[in-house]
Structures are given as structure tokens and as C-alpha cells.
Amino acid sequence: MSHPTVRVGAVGVGLMGTDHAERLATRVAGASLVAVSDPDTARAGALADRLGVRAVDDPLELVASPDVDAVVIASPGFVHEEQVLACLAAGTPVLCEKPLTMDDASSLRLVEAEAALGRRLVTVGFMRRFDPEYAQARAALAGGAHGRLLVLHNVHRNRSVPNADFRSEMIVRDSLVHEVDSSRFLFDDEVVEVTVLAPAPTSHAAEGVLDPQVALFRMAGGGLVTSEVFVNSQVGYEVRFEAVAERGTLTAGLHTTGLLTTGVGSDAGRWGGPVPDDYRVRFARAYDAEVQAWVDGIRSGTGAVGASAWDGYAATAVSTAGMASLASGTPVAVDLADRPPLYAATADPVAGP
Ligand code: ISE
């Protein structure tokens, strides 16, 4: 590329988009933030003033701006398809937050559009791939010292969700989708069947919302995954896994050993140390590493790193089936389209800093 510094525009500056905009403006080497866009123009304007960049009302105008070399999308999932397509049409690298889109059909359209271009421009923001513990676990499992991975247990809890619009389906599409990607990443395999069940909900969930939920994934190679997702736990951000292999287990997200209790009141937010408030705290290093690797890939011309559009599609396909399973209470098969040759090579795990 002609510009030594990657000039980035950020589309969507809610919690996650603001976090990315600040990261790009202050601590990503080789990048500068040049513009932000958000339907809440006052929010975009205030952030733009604070970071010394310009605010653009129309996100597609931002994408087409001559001084924007690359785009970070952190808008709601229902506008991702149009915005990612605009990036593809402009030949602009894009880091799109998860979920890639709202359902498997729309995600597949993005895969097909990128495959038709013949080069990878899309990275999906599955940041856990850049978390040191997840990256190390994948490398260890791929190395084979522990034998084959048999069962993966995931726990994913949020203290609360920002609004009552966070319905049962969003728990699958926005939260469980991380467990889909982590499972695909750790097993290096596809999910072929998903079941999502829910116990009697917590009294802290909004009326009619099924929270928590428990999902079971069957992997193509025979592995099994359990995932508990609980977005109103009252405690804090708890994300951990135990990967059970033939000769040992790998555990991530524990900060101590022994009997541990988390709770509210006098125990508030303790887990052998503080429980992080939210994902921006728990995965701060992963987000930094992810965005840095994305910028480095653009500058060096080595291409996209991290989760591809295919990974985003595969995850969305499992979520789509998961929402159907939650509604029916029965297992639902996941039938993926043929994988285009563009996505044939499995990227090496990228270790965090
Ligand atoms: C949010 O969108 C995220 O991506 C977080 O990582 C996840 O923990 C949360 O449940 C989602 O709402």
C-alpha cells in the first residue's frame, strides 16, 4: 500500500467501537484514526472532538473516503452486511466485529463476495484467538502432546446486559457465538450439530428472556462441547474453559486454585482476585493484539490474520441453528456450504503478547 501509516475509519462507536477508536488513536503502532461514524451523531461528534478526528454522518461515505485505508466496523450486526459489502467494493480491508451478520444466508453472501474478489479483506473480531491462554491452548493441542481433544467445557458470564432488548436470541447470536468460534479454534474442526436448552430463567432476566442457556455442540470429528452462557449473573465477567484431552486437561480463565466462591454483597466480584467488569477488561490484551496484527498484516501486505469471513460464516451458521434449537428444544444440524479455496489454508494460531 502507498501510505506508510494505515489510516482507519471506525463505523459504530458504542462501547466496543469507542474502545477500538481509542486503541487506534493512541496505542496501535503504524495506524492512525482519521474518522468515526455513528447514527448517534452527537456521540460520534463528541468522540471525534476528543480524539481529534472528523465525524462523518454516513458510514458508507466514510468507507469511500479517499483518506480511509481500512475500516473497523463495530455497528450492530443488522447493518454489517451492507457495510462489509461496501468495504469489499472499495477494496478496503475491514475488521468487522462479531457477529459477522445476523444469519447464515447473509454471512454466506459476504463469503461469496470476498471469494469472487479472490483476496481476503475481511477479518472478524473474534478476539479470543489473540488471548494468550486461548492461543497457547490451541498451539498445545495442535502439538499433540496431550492427545486428541475430547470434550470442551465453556463458561461465559456477563454481570448484566445493557438493555432489555437483549432477548433470548441475542444470547445465542451475540454471546454464544464466541463459544462457537472458540470451539472451532481449539478443535480446529467444524460444528455439525447444536442443541440449546434453558433452565427456568434467573429472576434478573427481562420478562420472557431465557437466561442462562446451555448449549451442546457436536464437532465433525466426534468432539463434544458444553457451553453455559449467562448474561445477567450479577457478579462480573467470567469466561473460562476446560479442554479435556486424552492425556490431560487445559484450563483457562482461572486465577487461583482451591474452592472459590463468587457472589454479590460481601463477596462482590471476587474470584481469587477481582472478577473483571466486562469483556473490554478481560480481553484488553487480546483486543490490542488483534488490532495490531490486523494493522501489521495490512502494512506488510501479508494479508488478513485472525478469523476470516469463512470463520464468521461458520459461526453465524451455528448461531442460526442454535436459535432454531432454542425454539424447538431439539438438536439442529449445521450444514455448511462448500468452503471456497480462498479459505483453504488454516491460519496458524497467533499467540498474544
Ligand atoms: C458482547 O457483544 C460481547 O461480544 C462480549 O464478549 C460478550 O461477553 C457479551 O455477552 C456480548 O453481549
> Mean pLDDT score of the chain, rounded to an integer?
93
pLDDT tens for each residue of 224-267: 999 999 999 999 999 999 999 999 999 998 865 566 666 676 66
The answer to whether the CB of 37 falls within 8 A of the CB of 45 is no
Please state, for a pLDDT cut of 70, what percent of the chain lies above it.
92
On the question of pLDDT at 101 being above 90, the answer is yes
Instruction: Output the pTM of the full model.
Output: 0.94
> Which letter, b or e, does each residue of 202-234 get, where b requires 16 or more Cβ atoms within 10 Å of its Cβ?
eeebeeebbbbbebebbbeeebbbbbbbbbbbb
Confidence (pLDDT) at 351: 39
Does ligand 1 lie within 6 Å of residue 178's CB atom? yes
Does ligand 1 lie within 6 Å of residue 231's CB atom? yes
- Atom 7 of ligand 1: nearest residue by CA position: 175
Confidence (pLDDT) at 196: 98
Does ligand 1 lie within 6 Å of residue 213's CB atom? no
pLDDT tens for each residue of 261-297: 666 766 666 666 778 889 999 999 999 999 999 999 9
Does ligand 1 lie within 6 Å of residue 175's CB atom? yes
Q: Mind listing the domains of the chain with CATH numbers? A: 6-126+286-307 (3.40.50.720), 129-281 (3.30.360.10)
Question: How many CB atoms are closer than 10 A to CB 41?
Answer: 13
